[in-house]
């Protein structure tokens, strides 16, 4: 199963809702405003860094760049993917759970 989150962690609790209910080892993709959660220095870093140890966490590169962040500013353990990578994840994992 691929869990996706697209809301800022500062605005909504979708990310926490997802992290609380994704079984260990799940794939979690952060895109749109959720990419802020993948950045170093944000107050969410510790929580998300831990999640990156428990799960496979991905962040969508184009959404990151659009918001003024580069790959170097992404938390360790999080993989940056492009749109093709997003599609591959969906194809590979089949079921998508979009936390809105």
Partner 1 sequence: MPGIDEPDYDSGVVKKFMYVNRKAPFGTIYALEVLEMVLISAAFEQDVHLAFVDDGVYQIKKGQDTKGIGMKSFLPTYRALEGYDIEKLYVEKESLEERGLTADDLVVPVEVIDRAAMAELIDSMDVVLSG
Site residues for partner 1 per CB under 8 A: 1, 4, 13, 17, 20-23, 26, 95-100
Kindly state the smallest distance separating residue 72's Cβ from partner 1, in Å: 29
Nearer to partner 1, 66 or 98 (CB): 98
Three-class DSSP labels, the chain: CEEEECCCCCCCCHHHHHHHCCCCCCEEEECHHHHHHHECCCCCHHHHHHHHHHCEEEEEHHHHHHCCCCHHHECCCEEEECHHHHHHHHHHHCCEEEEC
Kindly state the smallest distance separating residue 41's Cβ from partner 1, in Å: 27
Nearer to partner 1, 24 or 41 (CB): 24
């Amino acid at each position: 199963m691929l869990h996706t989150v697209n809301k800022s962690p500062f605005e909504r609790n979708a990310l926490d809702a997802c992290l609380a209910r994704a079984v260990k080892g799940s794939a979690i993709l952060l895109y749109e405003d959720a990419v802020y959660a993948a950045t170093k220095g944000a107050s969410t870093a510790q929580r998300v860094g831990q999640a990156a140890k428990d799960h496979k966490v991905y962040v969508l590169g184009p959404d990151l760049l659009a918001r003024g962040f580069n790959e170097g500013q992404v938390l360790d353990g999080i993989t940056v993917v492009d749109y093709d990578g997003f599609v591959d994840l969906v194809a590979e994992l089949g079921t998508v759970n979009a936390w809105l």
